[in-house]
Structure 1
Amino acid sequence: MGLKGKLISQTEIKGCKDLFHEMFKNKPHHLPNVVPQTNQAIDLHEGNWGTIDAVINCNFTVKGQEKVVKVSIEDR
């Protein structure tokens, strides 16, 4: 059984908001290049980047502990 929920956060960034949005929507696999200390890998398992029914696997580090998250993008 998986955990379902929402993660909401606010972070101030310096840079172009459109490029930031583009990276998270269509190119999240580039995040390990931007922040390699926290994101080790982001892989697409099903579907296409930024589309409904995409399944994404994320490997990252939080407070020194490695975590794995499987993200499923659904339409409501």
Structure 2
Amino acid sequence: MSLKGKVESEIEIRAPAEKFYNFFKGQSHQAPTATPTNIQGIEVHEGDWESHGSIKLWKYSVEGREETFKERVELDEANKTVSLIGLEGDIFNYFKTWKPVFKATPKDDGSGSVANLTIEYEKLHDGVADPKAYIEFMTSIAKDVDDHIMNPNNA
């Protein structure tokens, strides 16, 4: 059995791909406001809020557990993709590598976008369950961020 894997989710969102991407690229400091049940805080440890290679520490809750995740952000402007390369955190009690990816693609009809959410991982051993709760967590974040972006009071 392979220890490496990938879980994915795809949801339709109302926000334009550019706005969704820009939220994760340079406005992630708003995540605790946009999705307070999921994200409790984010701090920049190196770099800034919007530069490729910046390092941030996320404080979040998944399945009622409070956890932390330190990541280095990789930005792909052309493909509207933000990858969070895991460096430290609670997730590494179960996984050797951890890479959540948020990608937005405009819909062909021009009415919003499709958010592609992916986690690429390598388990520490074959007794570790697939990270289904974490892809559901990312889906919840994406929905909340979409609502936040599309709320005229947040413009």
Q: Report TM bin, short chain.
A: 0.7 to 0.9
| TM-score, normalised with respect to structure 2 | 0.40
Q: Which structure has the bigger radius of gyration?
A: 2
- TM-score with structure 1 length normalisation? 0.75
1:50 CA displacement:
2.5
Q: State the partner residue of 2:65.
A: 65
Deviations 1:8-61 (A, max 9, x none): 543322222221111100111101111101110111111022323311000111
Query: What CA RMSD, in Å, does the superposition of the two structures yield over aligned residues?
Result: 2.3
Against the structure 1 CA distance between its residues 22 and 42, is the aligned structure 2 distance closer, same or farther, given a 3 Å change threshold? same
Higher strand share: 2
CA distance in 2, matches of 1:7, 1:66: 22
Query: In 2 relative to 1, CA 11–67 (structure 1 residues): closer, same or farther, beyond 3 Å?
Result: farther
Q: Which runs of 5+ in 2 are unaligned?
A: 1-5, 75-155
Q: Which has the higher contact order (CA 8 A, sep 6+)?
A: 2
Identify if the C-alpha distance between structure 1 residues 55 and 40 changes in structure 2 by more than 3 Å, giving closer, same or farther.
same
SS at match of 1:73: strand
In structure 2, the CA distance between the partners of 1:7 and 1:58, relative to structure 1 (3 Å rule), is farther
Do residues 36 (structure 1) and 36 (structure 2) align?
Answer: yes
Q: What residue ranges of structure 1 are gaps of 5+ in the alignment?
A: 1-5
Aligned length: 70
Identical aligned pairs, as a percentage?
30
More helix, by proportion: 2
